[in-house]
Chains A and B, each alone.
Chain A
Amino acid sequence: MKRVARRLVVIVVSVLPLTASAGLRETPHNLSPRRGGVAAAGRSVPMSGRDDLCFFCHTPHSAAAQRGLWNQELAPVIYKLYESSTTQAQVQQPTGSSRLCLSCHDGVIAKGGIKGDADSTLGTDLSDDHPVSFVYDQSLATRRRELVSPSSLTGNVRLDDTRQMQCTSCHDAHLDRHPKFLVTDPAYSGLCVTCHKLPHWQESAHATSSASAGQASAVPGTAQATVGQNGCFSCHRSHAAPHPKRLLTAPTEEAVCLDCHDGRSAAKDLRRESYKLSAHRVDRFTDVHDPIENPNFMPPHVECVDCHNPHQARSTAPAGQLPGPLTGVSGISIGGTFLREATFEYEVCLKCHGVTEDRDPIVYRVDQVSNVRLQIDPRNPSFHPVADVGRNSTIQGLLPSLSAASRTLCIACHNNDAAAPFGSAAPRGPHGSNYRPILAAEYHFDATSGPESYQLYALCYGCHDRNTLLNRPDGFPHRQHVVEQGASCAVCHDAHGSRRNAHLINFMSRDLTSKQVVTPSSSGQLEYTELGTGSGRCALTCHGSDHNPKDYPARTMPH
């Protein structure tokens, strides 16, 4: 096999000069001083008499190396111009044939890695180009992940004889059949995916999009194309990338996304979302997110790619629980385990909201737990049914479409307030809202929110029927508290869940303004005790009223 390969190499090498030279003539790599003519460059070129375009890059071997007049002790030297050895090279120092390319593509003789017009201050190192002159072996593929095994690199993308990736892996300087001398058609990510194996990329919304690329960066040589056709080039630029670290087309990651997700290329306009009163402020962080970060140890941040994996995101959910736009994103399980790929929506949220206590909660609770993962834990006496079906099978006043067996999503409450559940032009999702903390509808949780109205607690009334809650003669006297005293639902209920009590009861100890709300009763007690179905006892002081304690009589609950 090896021998056959070697023979093939010999054949290819001996045929190449003729074919390459012929093909070269019409390309920018015809460097002859007389285009199409015979190059005569101050010496008699080997193989002269033939139309030789090779020697501009392939320096002819010397038959006349000289001894320096000042250096009589040193015999004439033949220089090695492009050995591939990495023994001397440091990171980013070109070796092998890349030395030939970069010795002309230096900005002086020919175009170098030209900086874009981006106002990037990051681009001060060499890494704004795809790296070259590194060994691409199995160890790299394993370490780096999402790379194909070098042994399966077939087709036009080749490594050099020391297994290094070089300029020549993507560009064949001899053949101008694809734009930029690329070895294969770059459309539909064709070139990049030869090495970069991204799970489920081909089914992703980006790979299959037929939207006009609009403002987005284009695949070389195709000005007007669809996002799918542009493929990787929609977001990445292999040379002179304005954001060097991930070779992105804009200096910040949100600018890359918003180039299209502005209502023109993509249907929804997300440009204003992070500037709403309450928002995931992706504009405040640049270059913090790391695709392999572990939420247990990462610095606090939020970027678009924390919740969306642009290589896998899709508009409709694949089989399973996870909404399509969250496909392929890491998460934290309800038990606190790091998941490389989340399977439930809440697991994505828990990456940040379920790891530690919230250092700056909006209100303080009696139990002082603000870690959402602990609050919605299905082992709690009560919780909103996000991670599992709820515990209270006798729950009163749900709207007819819901039952005690219903589950819900974080997005049900934490959503863009302008987004209707379906069909709205406004983008869905907890990007930003005019109600904090990124709430889908108005919900006042000041200790005294003023006269009750549907609007004031629209978020709760979206599922919990207002009429039942306020007017049932046999229920808890909500009217007395919420309407007559003007207390917010949030004074007694902790919407995520309660580690101690049924009915989400977890009293508010301090409100938005750090004012004390619920304090111990005159005998020093501050607790709720469940006395049976629909019956409980409160020991506390609130709005000047001492419940020391106060029982709410048992009632027979309708089923």
Chain B
Amino acid sequence: MGTERRLWRQRLLILVPLLASLVASCHWGDAGRPGVEAVRLVWPSPPDQARVEWVSAFGGAADLGIKPSLWSRLATLVGGADDPEIVRPTGVAVDARRIAVADPGAARVQLYDLTAQKAHSLTSCDASKFAEPVAVAFLGQRLFVADAARGRIDSFDADGECVGGWDLEKGARPAGLAADATRSRLYVSDSGKHQVLVFDPQGALQLRFGERGAAPGEFNFPTWMAVDAGGTLYVTDGLNFRVQRFDPDGRCLGVFGQQGDGSGELARPKGIGVDAAGHVYLVDALFDAVQLFDGDGRYLMVFGGRGHDPGQFWLPSGLAVDGDRIYVVDTYNQRVQIFRSLGGAS
């Protein structure tokens, strides 16, 4: 496994300059060969207009250009270099200068500060250790972490120092987080009690909505969420196989998606994001792909595929949109992949 990963990283390093480059269908090996045309990795394939482009992938701080700290170099000496930095990630959050990755497989959150060139490995807040940290969100300077097993939300300041947190009620299973900076509120999806909770940054409950069911506004395992520029909340309603939209007061604005194994349908919908144009990016773990929908739920296109090459996924989960960048948590490839939305007329 270690060898595989090292190889993968080596290849990535060698090939990043060329990766402006690859044809969607071509494999790793072809890119370095003389005579192989260097083409960008884009979707959809020509002659359709390219809408999404592969940018890069990272499995740890080094891939992001962050030099290892003395501590992490010591840890490498002690623990061996083969352990992956990101083990089984499920969530990602991005702001202007930071990237956070929730990794329940390693019971920790990786916080990468690209401005300060620092990587923090968060394993606990105060004395309590993370058990299953599945989701992360930035709200202002704060980083919020949802621990599904402990039913708890913890928060950290800009330097990765624990600020404190709060427990949810018994039976709750915080599954997803989304931040609304305009309203300074934190949305928590609760897959244990099938509801959405709204907190202020100090942990005071402001609103709750939803219960178990299949009608609009009801949930069957609500999980990943996103908030668009206008404050509309998008919730992946996992085992109702649909996406629901809510206004800031928790009123259901609409529902789309239906179960199936065909393109445009949903088999295991997970991470969700919305770009400035209102396009919805929805990860489907079983398709190993990200499907795009417009605001009305009409199917636009798909990118991804099963595998471990750039642009391919193995049971992906979380997703975050930051400007034109789309971050996809590629869970069983132990990495996060970054794509760019190329825009263009709908």
Contact = CB atoms under 8 A, between A and B. Distances in A.
A71 B238 contact: no
A109 to B, nearest CB: 5
Contacts of A104: 268
Contacts of A66: 262-265, 299
A90 B5 CA distance: 10
Contact of B90 (A32, A106, A126): A106
B265 A64 contact: yes
Interface in B100-149: 104-107, 129, 131-132, 134-135, 148-149
B258 interface: yes
Given A64-B265, A74-B44, A124-B87, A41 B259 contact: yes
Contacts of A121: 79
A34 B215 CA distance: 10
B98 to A, nearest CB: 22
A64 B286 contact: no
A36 to B, nearest CB: 12
A67 B263 CA distance: 7
Most interface-central of B90, B149, B223, B265 (chain A CB within 10 A): B265
Contacts of A113: 88, 104-105
Contacts of A42: 214, 240-242, 255, 257-259
Interface in A301-344: none
A88 B307 contact: yes
Contact of B44 (A56, A71, A102, A125): A71
Interface string B194-227: 1000000000000000001110001111011000
Contact of A77 (B90, B176, B262): B262
B263 A77 contact: yes
A3 interface: no
Nearest to B219: A33
Contacts of A123: 106-107
A107 B90 contact: yes
A55 B260 CA distance: 9
Contact of B239 (A31, A40, A62): A31
Contact of B267 (A81, A90, A94, A110): A81
A523 interface: no
Contacts, number: 227
Nearest to B289: A79
Nearest to B147: A107
B286 A79 contact: yes
Nearest to B223: A108
A533 interface: no
A68 interface: yes
A359 interface: no
B286 A99 contact: yes
Interface SS, A side = loop
Nearest to B279: A70
B30 interface: no
Nearest to A42: B242
Contacts of B241: 41-43
Contacts of B285: 103, 106
A441 B54 CA distance: 73
Interface in A49-76: 55-56, 59-74, 76
Contact of A103 (B257, B261, B268, B302): B268
B314 interface: yes
A100 B315 CA distance: 10
A33 B242 CA distance: 13
A425 to B, nearest CB: 38
Contact of B131 (A77, A103, A106, A114): A114
Interface string A84-126: 0000111111100001101110111111111101000111111
B77 to A, nearest CB: 13
A366 interface: no
B286 A103 contact: yes
Nearest to A116: B131
Contacts of A107: 90, 104, 132, 134, 148-149
A127 B45 CA distance: 38
A454 interface: no
Interface in B23-46: 43-45
B308 interface: yes
Contacts of B315: 93-94, 99, 102-103, 106
A82 interface: yes
A9 interface: no
A73 B132 contact: no
Contacts of B240: 33, 41-42
B169 interface: no
Interface string A516-539: 000000000000000000000000
Contacts of A223: none
A78 interface: yes
Nearest to B218: A33
A126 B268 contact: no
Contacts of B267: 59, 79, 81
Contact of A56 (B43, B194, B239, B263): B239
Contacts of A349: none
B229 interface: no
Contact of B88 (A40, A63, A112): A112
B265 A65 contact: yes
A88 B305 CA distance: 11
A247 to B, nearest CB: 16
A183 interface: no
A39 interface: yes
B223 A79 contact: no
B258 A43 contact: yes
Given A70-B301, A113-B105, A108 B332 contact: no
B191 interface: yes
B80 to A, nearest CB: 10
A94 B132 contact: no
B287 interface: yes
A110 B148 CA distance: 9
B149 A68 contact: no
B287 A33 contact: no
A65 B298 contact: no
B107 A115 contact: yes
B340 interface: no
Contacts of B333: 93
A68 B261 contact: no
Given A91-B4, A103-B315, A107-B148, A61 B260 contact: yes
Nearest to B298: A69
B48 to A, nearest CB: 5
A64 B263 CA distance: 8
A519 to B, nearest CB: 46
Contacts of B294: 69
A71 B300 contact: yes
Contacts of B286: 59, 79, 81-82, 99-100, 103
B132 A60 contact: no
A304 to B, nearest CB: 23
B175 interface: yes
A126 B104 contact: no
Given A70-B44, A71-B44, A106-B331, A76 B263 contact: yes
Nearest to B244: A42
A65 B301 contact: no
A109 B214 contact: no
A71 B302 contact: yes
A33 B317 contact: no
Interface of B: 1, 4, 43-45, 47-49, 51, 79, 82-84, 87-88, 90, 104-107, 129, 131-132, 134-135, 148-149, 175-176, 191, 194, 212-214, 218-221, 223-224, 238-242, 255, 257-265, 267-268, 270, 285-287, 289, 292, 294, 298-302, 306-308, 314-315, 317, 331-333, 346
Q: 4 nearest interchain CB pairs?
A: A65-B262, A62-B262, A66-B264, A62-B260
Given A71-B302, A123-B107, A125-B84, 4 more contacts: A62-B261, A62-B265, A103-B286, A109-B238
